[in-house]
Chains A and B, each alone.
Chain A
Amino acid sequence: MSDRVLPDVTAESIKVIAESAGIGQLPDEAAAALAEDATYRLKQITQEAVKFMHHGKRRKLSTADFDNALKLKNVEPLYGFHAEEHIPFRFASGGGRELHFYEEKEVELGDIINAPLPRIPLDVNLKAHWLAIEGVQPSIPENPPPVPKEDQHAADRPPGVTAKPSGKDGTKPAGKPGKAEVKGLPSEVAGVKLKPVLTHELSVEQQLYYREITEACVGSCESRRAEALQSLATDPGLHQMIPRFSTFVCEGVRVNVVQSNLALLIYLMRMVKALMDNTTLHLEKYLHEVIPAVATCILSKQLCQRPDVDNHWALRDFAARLMGNMCRNFSSNINNIQSRMTKTYTKILHDEQSHLATRYGALAGLAEMGHDVVKSLLIPKLKEEGEKVKMLMEGPVHNSVDKTAAEHIRALLLKHCAPVLAKIRPGPDNQEQYKTDFGHLGPLLCAHVVKARQQQQQQQLQATTTTAAAASVVQRPTLQIPQKSDWVSCSLVFAQINSCFKTIFCESEKYLDDFASDS
């Protein structure tokens, strides 16, 4: 109580108000007395207004509550007062004066008259849904996601000493149809928390949903697929079905790699991406199925029927990017996903006998792991890889498959190494220097680095405040920065302004909330 600054109306405010009402010389004592009384009345009214808020069953105090409180105290309520959600004052300063003012724009009457009528608001309606069925909350769009993401996460790593989750993670045969696991209430057994193994059937609706989604995802209709992926990426409450989906992906990859069915593999990877995009899901428990599937799509020797024509490189890139995201999101001290994957990749690179497509996958995988990995693992290998590429492209025995592979490897290395080099190598860029450092790839690399430097400078100039954000945008290969950089920086600035406003609004709302709960 005492450490809080009590909001009081000051004598100065009273004088200003008096001035605006046409009373020039208000004596100090009068102002002080008035200020005190005004404070008292305001507080009293506010306390009454809070009563109205409580009866309106709200958390937020509204202007109507104030009006009602005024009415209760037999004071004439304010007429025509209207406040949007935010504080309507604008601030201006200049010439040593500071002032707050209402921003009132001039309005053309004709515009208002001629403006089309706004849409009539929808009528109030009543909609029923099942909040619970015999004590269990069904996972339907009307209900919140059954287990919030934090709780799913908490279930992965229970605090304190935990017994080995019996058959929860690895040993549970998730492929068994018709069974899914739900989080059981932890039961205390001899001081150690044991989670009971719970199995339960998916509801009919969930089974239907599963069938629809999986059929659409691998079916031939592109629009249905888009819808299905959208649903996977946004719908809450899919938590119970992830084991099923992850098994579907896992099995699907296994079958289609054998049959070299590139299209289906791509569809399956898109499913994984959709599941990862869903903010209400926590995939960590199912990585043991997903990661091998994704890794297969990156590293497999053959992913398509005609390796010389089909673009399986795109699939490898896409899968590698997925893997990179997974490492960023899920890697921890316990599962060590990132280091394990890195080891797998480097093993392939050290193996001279490895297939070129696999090599490409390993390089792509490493490249997606982030700057540090590129710096410490890819760049030292540039020379060696460059020689290989040279040998393949110019060497005596070359077939078309190997040649395309070499081209792709070269493009990949250039694309990913150049920005990193631009960061870590001090300029100027010398063709010869590059040649000695990186061998065959040197000259090309040099050109790319120069380009990358220019880009970076441009961005620094254009969006000094948003470099961090811009840098993260650069990494995404889908966004073409050179053409759109202006637009991007503009939109970033806009976003920043917007968020500024938002915080201001939030602050004011918070103030109101605080006010309501305190007074």
Chain B
Amino acid sequence: MADPNRTVVVTDGSNDASTVSGAATGVQSSPKGEKGAGTDPSKMDQQTLAAVLQFLKNNKLKDAEAALRREAKLPDGNGDSSGSSRVATSGEVSSVLSAYESEGDLARYCEYYNSLSSFIESSLDAHKHELGCLLYPVFIHMYLQLVYNRHEKEAHKFFNRFSVEQEDWHQEDLRTLSTVKTREQMEGNDLMDTFRSSKFVLRMSRDSYQSLRRYLKQNEHRELLSILQDHLFIDVFDGVPRNREQVQATSGAMMGEARRDANKVKVLYGLPKEPDINVPLDDDDEGAEGEDKPKKKKQKKDLLLNKNKKADPNAPPPSRIPLPELKDADKLEKVLSWKEGLKRVPLGRENLPSICFYTLANAYQNVSAVGVSEDSSLLAAGFEDSNVRVWSLSPQRLRTMRNASELDQLDKEADDIVERMMDEKTAADSWLLHGHTGPVYATSFSPDREQLLTSSEDGTVRLWSLHTYSNLVVYKGHNYPVWDVQFSPTGYYFVSGGHDRVARLWGTDQFQPIRMFVGHYSDVTCIQYHPNSNYVATGSSDRTVRLWDVLNGNCVRVMTGHKAAVHTLAWSPDGRYLASAGVDKNVLLWDIAYGRLLAEMKGHTDPIYSLCFSREGSILASGGIDNTVKIWDVQKVFEEIAGSDDLTSLDRASLVEVGSLLLGSFQTKATPVLKLHFSHRNLLLGCGRYQHS
């Protein structure tokens, strides 16, 4: 994990420097935040520290440098030490690059590559597919060596000759690489940096590995050997070699598969027991002595409230993460949603949901984000012209709060004080929120529906009050486009992720992040908070899905298998399963307990932008810009796993064989499906913008 951390520190620093330059606080936050994210400072090696210092120095960020020195207890680095560190840093950079130094003879590279590929072709069928994964990283690094050694023409020939042999899902990265044609261009290319500084991970069985070693011993290909040593990480496991389907299922990510040990940590995916709320069956008031326990997602309420009172063995202890206390209003809310849940329609194979579709008409600017509140009463749409608009989906119109002097005159002890605070004269069907200066890419309502979060291309996250319809806080820190933001199910916390490859955890009352989740090799494109608030799942355009522990900021699951950027995630209501989908048009279903792939659902013809589990978790709805809502029978998969032996083996990512899971497909006229949401009663809501032909 050290490698990705290091690269991102640098990325992060450059963000701050590029735009903030001068606002010392912003800069200082980056090293601090880094430590807050759980990296032990003693572990952070001296070289990295020196590199950061050098960077700060180069950019004339003196305050930040001094602060860092103080914290790291380094001697003040004026005069002599700066010179040495400069030498060290530049020496380091060049040493990384010079790893590619070699004679670079096209003929020999071609020969090596051919020899490797014919060896793989001729090896036993059992090993063939595992070894086949070698070709892609070897090809890339050979190409980069050629480019680095200024054999541009040879590199081009080499590329044209062998790039067609690579798997389809690598073509996107190959196109990016193909633009790199000279040594100068190698620097500053994100993908290049990633390839250079991180190792490509391959998993193979011991048998396959042995045969590879025999081959390498027989043929002394020095370049090949050095590539394998320097840029590849081969994770050897004991067991039967995987077949083609198994290999394909988990390959596709930018830097290969997940290391085996990456998914070993136990994840407390269960839901904590329901706090005691004395529920008088006539709603209005309810008992006050609710324990300070995390609030559970409302859909978990079952017909028998008592059923959930048993503690789940997999649930995290309630005090693991400090969560906001339940207010009276929250308790009332929970009771109401529980009562709504009583009227829920059971869904399944036989009972498909009703879908109510909200179409945004006359939207001349494209709609880039749609969010729906947990209780399905509010809808927020983000537009590419920087506007955000909030609609009420219930008969209750949207009102603002009275002004201060009027509020002062109210009787604060009145029962209907909340109602009285609102100014009836301002009632409107929708409110427009101005403030962002770029396309709005995500909207998220707080669970109490009093606040709204939006994230935008302008690099900020904004918190809006839905009582005054005004902007409360601007959270700066990403500095690059923020692709997604989401409130935690308990409120107060939220997570944002963006182009800077970092997902940040914030509290609404703090302007600096509480945690930084660092490790993705490319943009963090989507975020989904775990129902128990202890974990955060992120999807990225490096084609992986990661799970982070909010407590210590560690990455506890890395899941590979997508063949293109991930754009949407959804948790099953019981918190054990995660669904993900994106540009590769497939929906993947993951078992978080072991981090393994359960099922692949194919059928969409264009990128998927929305996923949602029904309230009892038996069906999954997906929607995308192919204007279709598809309904999948995930219950079948869950039944299948329950029936089979508990496959704890992570090495065998065998898909559950259940045939087609598609239950239904519903096409809209010309409206992409940007958001899907199940109401408490299991009515499926969809939303999108009508596209004029």
Could you tell me which A residues sit within 8 Å of B by CB distance? 1-2, 36-37, 39-40, 43-44, 47, 51-52, 54-59, 62, 64, 68, 72, 74, 121-135, 137, 142-144, 518-519
Shortest distance between the CB of A297 and any CB in chain B (Å): 37
B464 within 8 A of A: no
B71-79, B325-333, B636-644, B664-672 - interface stretch: B664-672
Given A54-B565, A123-B362, 19 more pairs with CB closer than 8 A: A2-B163, A36-B182, A37-B185, A40-B180, A40-B181, A40-B185, A55-B368, A55-B441, A55-B483, A55-B525, A58-B366, A121-B362, A124-B389, A126-B391, A127-B358, A134-B352, A142-B359, A143-B668, A518-B175
- CB pair A128–B358 under 8 Å, yes or no, is yes
Interface hub of B160, B480, B669 (most chain A Cβ within 10 A): B669
Q: Name B664's contact: one of A68, A135, A518 (CB within 8 Å).
A: A135
Q: Does B364 contact A (CB under 8 A)?
A: yes
- The chain A residue with its CB closest to the CB of B161 is A2
CB nearest neighbor in A for B668: A131
A129 touches B439 (CB 8 A): no
Per the bound structure, the CA–CA distance linking A127 and B391 in Å amounts to 11
B606 touches A127 (CB 8 A): no
B-chain residues with CB within 8 Å of residue A36 when the two chains form the complex:
181-182
Out of B176, B353, B362, name the residue touching A135 (CB < 8 Å): B353
- Give chain A residues whose Cβ lies under 8 Å from the Cβ of B174: 1
CB closest chain-A residue, reference B438: A68
The residues of B that contact A52 with a CB separation of less than 8 Å are 439, 457, 481
Complex contact B362–A130 (CB within 8 A) = no
Q: B430 contacts the other chain (Cβ, under 8 Å)?
A: yes
Shortest beta-carbon distance from A4 to chain B in Å: 10
Of A58, A68, A133, which is within 8 A of B481 by CB? A68
A57 touches B625 (CB 8 A): yes
Which residues from A are CB-within-8-Å of B629? 131-132
B389 near A72 with CB under 8 A, answer no
Bound complex: CA A236 to CA B34 (Å): 59
Residues B357 and A131 in contact, CB atoms below 8 Å apart: yes
Determine the residue in chain B with the shortest Cβ distance to A133: B354
B349 to chain A, nearest CB (A): 10
A126 touches B359 (CB 8 A): yes
A74 to B479, CA, bound (A): 12
Q: Which of B171, B360, B381, B606 contacts A59 (CB 8 A)?
A: B606
Interchain CA distance A132-B685 in the complex, whole Å: 10
Q: How far is the CB of A333 from chain B (nearest CB, A)?
A: 33
Shortest beta-carbon distance, A73 to chain B, in Å? 10
Is B341 an interface position by the 8 A CB rule?
no
Q: How far is the CA of A512 from the CA of B355 in the complex (A)?
A: 34
Contact A131/B430 with A43-B179, A72-B480 known, Cβ cut-off 8 Å: no
In the bound complex, how far is the Cα of B180 from the Cα of A462, in angstroms?
58
The interface residues of chain A, by DSSP majority, are classed as mixed
Alpha-carbon gap, A57 to B370, bound state (A): 11
Distance in angstroms from A35 CB to nearest chain B CB is 11
Which residue of A has the minimal Cβ distance to B526? A55
Would A519 and B362 count as touching, CB distance under 8 A? no
Name B152-201 residues within 8 Å CB distance of A.
160, 163-164, 171, 174-176, 178-182, 185, 189
**CB pairs A–B below 8 angstroms (17 shown):** A1-B174, A2-B160, A43-B179, A47-B175, A52-B439, A56-B366, A124-B381, A126-B359, A126-B361, A127-B358, A131-B357, A131-B686, A132-B666, A133-B354, A135-B352, A135-B631, A142-B359
Q: Are B523 and A64 in contact (CB under 8 A)?
A: no
A31, B179: Cα distance in complex, Å: 18
Task: Give Cα A454 to B79, complex, Å.
Answer: 103
Known: A55-B368, A56-B368, A56-B384. Is A130-B356 also a contact (CB below 8 A)? yes
Task: Give the top 7 A-B pairs by smallest Cβ distance, nearest first.
Answer: A135-B352, A131-B355, A131-B357, A43-B179, A132-B355, A122-B362, A2-B160
Fill in one digit per residue for B505-527: 1 if any A CB lies within 8 Å of its CB, else 0. Answer: 00000000000000000010100
B651-682 to A contact mask, C-beta < 8 Å, 1/0: 00000000000011011110010100000000
Cβ-based interface call for B499 (8 A): yes
Q: Which residues of chain A come closer than 8 Å to B480, judged between CB atoms?
A: 72
Q: Is B96 in contact with chain A by the CB < 8 A criterion?
A: no
Report how far A52 CA is from B438 CA in the complex, Å. 11
**B403 nearest CB across to chain A (Å):** 27
Q: Quick check: is B617 within 8 A (CB to CB) of the other chain?
A: no
Give the docked Cα–Cα distance between A178 and B674 (Å). 38
Asked whether any CB of chain A lies closer than 8 Å to the CB of B18, the reply is yes
Of B352, B384, B567, the contact of A132 (CB 8 Å cutoff): B352
Minimal beta-carbon separation of B17 from chain A (angstroms) = 11
A130 touches B457 (CB 8 A): no
**Contact A131–B361 (Cβ < 8 Å):** no
With A36-B182, A55-B525, A127-B358 given, is the CB distance from A143 to B669 under 8 Å? yes
Give, as a whole number of angstroms, the nearest-CB distance from A240 to chain B.
17
Most buried by A among B357, B358, B631: B357
Once bound together, how far apart are the Cα atoms of A49 and B381, in whole Å? 22
- Tell me the bound Cα distance from A56 to B369 in angstroms: 8
Q: Tell me whether B352 and A129 are in contact (CB under 8 A).
A: no
How many angstroms from the CA of A57 to the CA of B609 in the assembled complex?
Answer: 7
CB A64 to nearest CB in B, in angstroms, measures 7
**B334 → A minimal CB distance (Å):** 27
B389 in contact with A1 (CB, 8 Å): no
**B363 close to A (CB within 8 Å):** yes
In the docked arrangement, what's the CA distance between A133 and B684, Å? 10
Q: Decide if A124 touches B360 in the complex (CB within 8 Å).
A: yes
Are A59's CB and B625's CB within 8 A?
yes
A137-B593 Cα distance, complex, nearest whole Å: 37
Cβ-neighbour of A134 out of B163, B176, B354, B368 (below 8 A): B354
In the assembled complex, how far is the CB of residue B105 from the closest CB belonging to chain A, in whole angstroms? 22
Neighbouring B residues of A1 by C-beta, 8 Å = 160, 163-164, 171, 174-175, 178
User: Cα distance A57–B379 when bound, in Å?
Assistant: 18
Query: Shortest beta-carbon distance, A321 to chain B, in Å?
Result: 32
Bound form: Cα–Cα A132–B686 in Å? 11
In the complex where A40-B185, A519-B175 touch, is A144 in contact with B355 (Cβ < 8 A)? no
- B541 an interface residue at 8 Å Cβ cutoff? yes
Separation of A54 and B367 alpha carbons in the complex (Å) = 12
In chain B, positions 378-395 with a C-beta closer than 8 Å to chain A are 379, 381, 384, 389, 391, 393
The reply to whether B363 and A124 form a contact with Cβ atoms under 8 Å apart is: yes
Closest to B164 in A: A1
Partner of B384, one of A43, A64, A126, A127: A64
B666, A131: Cβ atoms closer than 8 Å = yes
Among A36, A43, A58, A126, max chain B CB count under 10 A is at A126
Rounded to whole angstroms, the CA-CA distance of A438 and B523 in the bound complex is 84
Partner of A124, one of B160, B189, B357, B362: B362
Judged by a CB distance under 8 angstroms, whether B267 is at the interface is no
Question: What does the 1/0 interface line of B316-358 toward A look like (CB < 8 Å)?
Answer: 0000000000000000000000000000000000011111111
Known: A126-B391, A135-B353. A57 touches B179 (CB 8 A): no
Interface centre among B354, B393, B625 (most CB of A within 10 A): B354
**CB-CB nearest in chain A for B687:** A126
- C-alpha gap A150/B222 in the complex (Å): 61
* Contact across chains for A132 and B353 when beta carbons are under 8 A apart: yes
Distance from B682 Cβ to chain A, minimum over Cβ atoms (Å): 11
Query: A44, A132, A142 — which one has the most chain B CB atoms within 10 A of its CB?
Result: A132
Give the residue of A2, A39, A134 whose beta carbon is less than 8 angstroms from that of B351.
A134
CB-CB < 8 A to A518: which residues of B?
175
- On whether the beta carbons of B361 and A124 are closer than 8 Å, the reply is yes
Do B160 and A142 touch (CB < 8 A)? no
What separation, in Å, do the CA atoms of A346 and B245 have in the docked complex?
Answer: 66
B181, B359, B438, B481: the one contacting A127 at CB < 8 Å is: B359
Bound Cα distance A43, B180 (Å): 10
Residues from chain A with a CB closer than 8 A to the CB of B631 are 135
B485: interface (CB < 8 Å): no
Q: Which residues of chain B are within 8 angstroms of A58 by Cβ–Cβ distance?
A: 366, 625
Measured CB to CB, the nearest residue on chain A to B688 is A57
Q: Which of A43, A55, A62, A125 contacts B361 (CB 8 A)?
A: A125
B489 within 8 A of A: no
CA distance A64 to B384 in the complex (A): 9
